[in-house]
């Protein structure tokens, strides 16, 4: 039963479809999650009482709820209030909410570690606070947040497999279907595990290159 044909004709084609779905999930979720994370972090640090409170609540809520529960609410719960999301959209929204709340905390820490005198200096030059945050603080904070955010991105790649629980057939889901039909759990999940490992290794490599590119003299010794 288990032979090369199984891998070439059955497993790989369906895994390829699943892989494409996984890549779509993470390619949407990572950038949106990051942008949301930056916005929430800025709101938390620089926002007025209301904005800061909202940002804190956001982080507590979405970091504190299991992602799976979040996905179930979005996909199975929301129709009861008249909101119907496709499996893909529900998964991306869930990932973005979860991922951004983690990013927000990494970025908040990084923002707070930028010496505050630099904002004063920028303001003394006539820069608005907002401009100082965007031109002076964020370029430094985002560099500092790269290691933490990299961690979260790698988590996201792996927990994207949860999309399968809301019927979005990505890599893990596609594999599970093949495995249960042909009763080849060991082979299938070994292959899937290897694929995740390869994706994560590639992502790690890219993120390391990014970290290196983003460093500047006086920066490397902070590592």
Cα distances (angstroms) measured from residue 153 to each of 100, 132, 150, 158: 10, 27, 5, 9
* Smallest distance, other proteins to C-beta of residue 118, A: 5
Binding mask 76-115 for other proteins (x = CB under 8 A): --------------------------------------xx
Q: Is 140 in the site for other proteins (CB under 8 A)?
A: yes
Cα distances (angstroms) measured from residue 115 to each of 40, 125, 129, 142, 220: 20, 17, 15, 14, 17
Of the residues 84, 125, 213, 223, which one makes contact with other proteins according to CB under 8 A: 125
Of the residues 122, 146, 153, 169, which one makes contact with other proteins according to CB under 8 A: 122
Of the residues 113, 128, 186, 208, which one makes contact with other proteins according to CB under 8 A: 128
Q: Is 210 in the site for other proteins (CB under 8 A)?
A: no
* Smallest distance, other proteins to C-beta of residue 72, A: 43
The helix/strand/coil state of 216 is: coil
CA-closest candidate to residue 18, choices 153, 155, 166, 168:
168
Of the residues 34, 143, 171, 176, which one makes contact with other proteins according to CB under 8 A: 143
CA-closest candidate to residue 108, choices 207, 37, 60, 51:
37
Q: Is 118 in the site for other proteins (CB under 8 A)?
A: yes
Of the residues 35, 120, 206, 209, which one makes contact with other proteins according to CB under 8 A: 120
CA-closest candidate to residue 34, choices 129, 115, 131, 141:
141
Q: Please identify, among the stretches 21-29, 123-131, 185-193, 203-211, the one whose residues bind other proteins according to the rule CB under 8 A.
A: 123-131
Helix extents (H) in 117-184:
117-124, 129-132, 138-159, 171-182
Which residues contact other proteins by CB under 8 A? 114-115, 117-118, 120-129, 131, 135-136, 139-140, 143, 216-219, 221
């Amino acid at each position: 039963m288990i032979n090369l044909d199984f891998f070439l004709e059955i497993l790989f084609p369906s895994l390829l479809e699943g892989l494409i779905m996984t890549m779509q999930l993470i390619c949407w979720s990572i950038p949106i999650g990051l942008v949301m994370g930056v916005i929430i972090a800025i709101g938390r640090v620089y926002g007025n009482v209301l904005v800061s409170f909202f940002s804190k609540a956001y982080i507590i809520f979405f970091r504190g709820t299991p992602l799976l529960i979040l996905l179930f609410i979005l996909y199975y719960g929301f129709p009861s209030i008249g909101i119907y999301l496709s499996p893909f959209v529900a998964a991306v929204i869930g990932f973005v909410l979860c991922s951004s709340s983690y990013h927000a905390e990494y970025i908040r820490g990084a923002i707070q570690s930028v010496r505050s005198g630099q904002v004063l200096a920028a303001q003394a030059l006539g820069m608005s606070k907002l401009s100082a945050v965007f031109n002076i603080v964020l370029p430094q904070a985002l560099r500092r947040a790269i290691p933490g955010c990299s961690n979260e991105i790698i988590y996201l790649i792996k927990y994207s497999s949860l999309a399968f629980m809301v019927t979005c057939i990505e890599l893990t889901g596609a594999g599970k279907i093949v495995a249960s039909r042909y009763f080849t759990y060991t082979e299938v999940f070994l292959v899937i595990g290897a694929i995740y490992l390869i994706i994560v290794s590639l992502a790690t490599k890219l993120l390391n290159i990014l970290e290196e590119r983003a460093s500047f003299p006086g920066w490397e010794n902070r590592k």
